[in-house]
Structure 1
Amino acid sequence: MSSNSVSPHSAATGKHEGPGTELVVDVGPIAHGGHFVARHEGRVIFVRHGIPGEKVRIRLTDSGDSSRFWRADVVDVLEASPDRVQHFWKPADSPGSWRRGGPPVGGAELGHVSLGRQRSLKAEVLAEQLKRLAGLDLATEVEPVGDADDAGLGWRTRASFAVTAKGRLGMHAHRSDAVIPVHEMPLAHPGINDLRLWDLDLTGIARVEVAVPANGSRPLVLLAPEEGTSPKRLHGILTRLPQDISVASFDAAKGHVLQLRGRTWVQESAAGHEYRVTGEGFWQIHKDAPETLVNAVTGYLSGGGYLQPGAAVADLYAGAGLFTAPLADAVGVTGSVLSVEGAPGTSRDARKNLHGEPQVEIVQGRVERVLHQRARSFDSLVLDPPRAGAGKAVVRQLMETGPRAIAYVSCDPASFARDLGYFHQGGWRLESLRAFDLYPHTHHLETVGLLVPAS
């Protein structure tokens, strides 16, 4: 059957091929974002839950005559890749979920692919983005992180859940408002599953955030109440949660966190330091990510002689200070570290975490504004922006500060490659690059690059 064929279930013979239509296609290469490229009568379709080389039946989830491309899920595998494995999580298995009448949950879109092939696919995405956006021909291995025998499971120390209309714990389908009940989360740290939040009646709650530090310190459950939820309803949920965990309510729009029991923060550990992280404050979610990234960053900067006693360095988009603390260790009291973070709550955490380091200056504000107000030179910089990347204006400002090296930590290969192109235009080059599989069974990866002036 050709890749342009329509399944017997399709409504397509001369009719509009809208959502719900089923087609048979050949799966092509992976694209950035966790989907694969297929074609139907010249139309590009971004297909999730396939593997390159497979022939599959797909169900359109987003389509239209005026759309530049369509989106679809695999509902049946007609010719399987040798890299296809049984999905580890029933609600995230696309063919099985559609046979049961609905879409799979998001967050484990590569769970049907062997771990080795997952990493090679992620390496392909990174190489394609570097070529297309930065003009670089560079193949980089995506390194595994964590225990060799963990099957890529149990690594998430943080998890976010929705709540179904019936008050049960759930997760969203990809690009959908549909909330699907869940009764386990195999990617989550065992401490999250041990809470058994799916046993609770969560009526009146819109969202649940959970943080379980890998160091064994006290977990935190954050409840986001729906408008009008009474204190009595919150108390009823509180009494059913284990007594040895902290519980707080939060308003994501206003950034308010209200203590219900215990603390409104968790205690994290990395690189010989303790870190307080409040509420929804950012922290790397893989249990081994903080140590892995700190070692990569400090290894690059120290190994190149860019980080040594007395140096002036900056940690930009610094969060709670994951990199700031080891940078302060390296430069000593004769050096200086400028730590810049935009989120007020997270910046307050950084002040508490670094209060005993006189060589550290904590500044809360947008990176571009702080750099403009505090024109100064640095020996080296650490740049760890959000998924959107730093952007052209910030890259230009960074080069103007005259550092000898920049360690760029990125969770998005597209924004990283785009920014790398800006650095190249400004006369800088990529000296070294490492990529880490910090998010097994998802399309995400983390990169750490060392950039230096080309001259």
Structure 2
Amino acid sequence: MKTVKELDWTDRVLELEVGPVAHGGHCVARHEGRVVFVRHALPGERVLAVVVEDGGGGFCRADVVAVREAAPGRVQPPCAWARAGGCGGCDFQHADPAVTRELKAAVLAEQLRRLAGIERAVEVEELPGGALGWRHRVRLAVDELGRPGLRAHRSHDVLPIADCPIAPAGVLPPVLEHRFTPGAEVEVVVDADGAVHVGDGPAVQRAAGREWLLSPGVFWQVHPALADALAAVVAEWAAAPAGGTAWDLYGGVGLFASVLAGLVGPDGEVVVVESAARAVADGRAALADLPQVGWRTGRVEHVLPGLTGRPDVVVADPPRRGLGRELVDALCAREPERVVHVACDPAALARDVALFEARGYRLAELRAFDAFPMTHHFESVALLMP
């Protein structure tokens, strides 16, 4: 049997027949009995790829350095850093945007099939604005010399970029000329009025017919069209009755709470649970005219046991890891009529859907949005009902 050292293919160039797309921004190939996760490839291609990471087990990671046979839909990347050894931000600049959406749909369908046992046709919907210039919030890393940039793929190295094509045109170059505290991070935000904020605020954001003034570092969706798209889905699927009760878990500044408040009306109740105190403060200010919205500051798993009654609907927008077994069990024990689950990770969503199904809830509706063009990320919304 080969030892780990003998299996180390790092820096070896492999000729590969590329197989299907996989979750994580790569495709799957096989070579000499091992799985190779290949970035900058498309299914069906024949490529040369250099191994960039190998732990000696059943798989390694590689980056394409040459394409021998290209697949339909391959295009020239708009950024020079979208290459082997380059930036970790964009996984699919080499694919036509329509092809990228097909790849993301295949990933979501595969995760649902493998993790939840659900066969379902999936579409990843395009958002307005195109594939460039959409990222209105960028977090820059700062190197040991104080120079801001973006991190290399799966690395802490900071790349000396001059601009980023998925950020709004003209926003980053002036910031990149400045020097900052070594090792720090710098958040650049373009707000709804087009004002650029570099670690300062308040930033104006608008969605669902309302306006928020956000403190530095408070979360808002990076794609300017996503907040309205998600709010519209929640408004349609929540179906909270007038005078009813809705819970908005991981509620942030209350985007979904504002929609739920309109459904339940002045005689209803919306409970927002959010752990970030600054987000709660900004949300309270923005929704001060909605007395039916109440706020609980704390982690959902800590606050949930203290909430009383049975909610008509629960809206949950958890972090990337998803809800998990304990929270799904706790929510199902309250027997809501509907759960609207917003997810940024397809595997986490599929795991949660499987947990809900085991507790008697079915996947009634599913939508997905290409909120992060040219990357492997996308946003999904699932409606679960008993």
1:368 matched to 2:301? The reply is yes
Q: Deviations over 1:264-315 (max 9, x none)?
A: x3121101111132222211110100001101111122xxxx2232121111
Unaligned runs of at least 5 residues, structure 1: 1-13, 95-102, 223-246, 248-262
Task: Indicate which of 55, 65, 87 corresponds to 2:46.
Answer: 55
After TM superposition, the structure 1 = structure 2 runs for residues 368-387 of structure 1, keeping only pairs within 5 Å, are 368-387=301-320
Please tell me the residue identity of whatever aligns with 2:80.
Answer: K
Q: Which has the larger radius of gyration?
A: 1
Please tell me the residue identity of whatever aligns with 1:288.
Answer: A
RMSD: 1.7
Runs of 4 or more, structure 1, over 6 Å off, are none
Unaligned runs of at least 5 residues, structure 2: none
**Match of residue 373 from structure 2:** 440
1-structure distance, mates of 2:72, 2:150: 30
**Match of residue 31 from structure 1:** 22
User: SS in structure 2 opposite 1:91?
Assistant: coil
Please tell me the residue identity of whatever aligns with 2:133.
Answer: G
The TM-score with structure 1 as length reference comes to 0.81
Once the 2 structures are TM-superposed, how far is the Cα of residue 168 of structure 1 from its aligned partner?
2.7
1:291 matched to 2:282? The reply is no
Please tell me the residue identity of whatever aligns with 1:163.
Answer: V
Does structure 2 retain, via aligned residues, the 8 Å contact 1:390–1:419?
A: yes
Once the 2 structures are TM-superposed, how far is the Cα of residue 367 of structure 1 from its aligned partner?
1.3
After TM superposition, the structure 1 = structure 2 runs for residues 200-211 of structure 1, keeping only pairs within 5 Å, are 200-202=178-180, 204=182, 206-211=184-189
After TM superposition, the structure 1 = structure 2 runs for residues 336-351 of structure 1, keeping only pairs within 5 Å, are 336-351=269-284
**Match of residue 209 from structure 2:** 272
2-structure distance, mates of 1:32, 1:113: 16
**Match of residue 227 from structure 1:** none
Once the 2 structures are TM-superposed, how far is the Cα of residue 446 of structure 1 from its aligned partner?
0.7
Q: Which has the higher contact order (CA 8 A, sep 6+)?
A: 2
Please tell me the residue identity of whatever aligns with 2:125.
Answer: E
**Match of residue 212 from structure 1:** 190
2-structure distance, mates of 1:109, 1:365: 35
After TM superposition, the structure 1 = structure 2 runs for residues 218-237 of structure 1, keeping only pairs within 5 Å, are 218-222=195-199
Please tell me the residue identity of whatever aligns with 1:221.
Answer: V
Once the 2 structures are TM-superposed, how far is the Cα of residue 64 of structure 1 from its aligned partner?
3.8
**Match of residue 126 from structure 1:** 108
Please tell me the residue identity of whatever aligns with 1:281.
Answer: V
Once the 2 structures are TM-superposed, how far is the Cα of residue 219 of structure 1 from its aligned partner?
2.9
Q: Deviations over 1:423-446 (max 9, x none)?
A: 000011011111111111000111
Once the 2 structures are TM-superposed, how far is the Cα of residue 205 of structure 1 from its aligned partner?
5.7
Task: Indicate which of 51, 72, 87 corresponds to 1:82.
Answer: 72
Does structure 1 retain, via aligned residues, the 8 Å contact 2:104–2:124?
A: yes
The TM-score with structure 2 as length reference comes to 0.95
1:45 matched to 2:36? The reply is yes
Does structure 1 retain, via aligned residues, the 8 Å contact 2:145–2:182?
A: no
1-structure distance, mates of 2:186, 2:113: 39
Does structure 2 retain, via aligned residues, the 8 Å contact 1:217–1:267?
A: no
After TM superposition, the structure 1 = structure 2 runs for residues 156-167 of structure 1, keeping only pairs within 5 Å, are 156-167=135-146
Q: Deviations over 1:327-363 (max 9, x none)?
A: 1122111111000011222222222222221111100
Percent identity over the alignment is 43
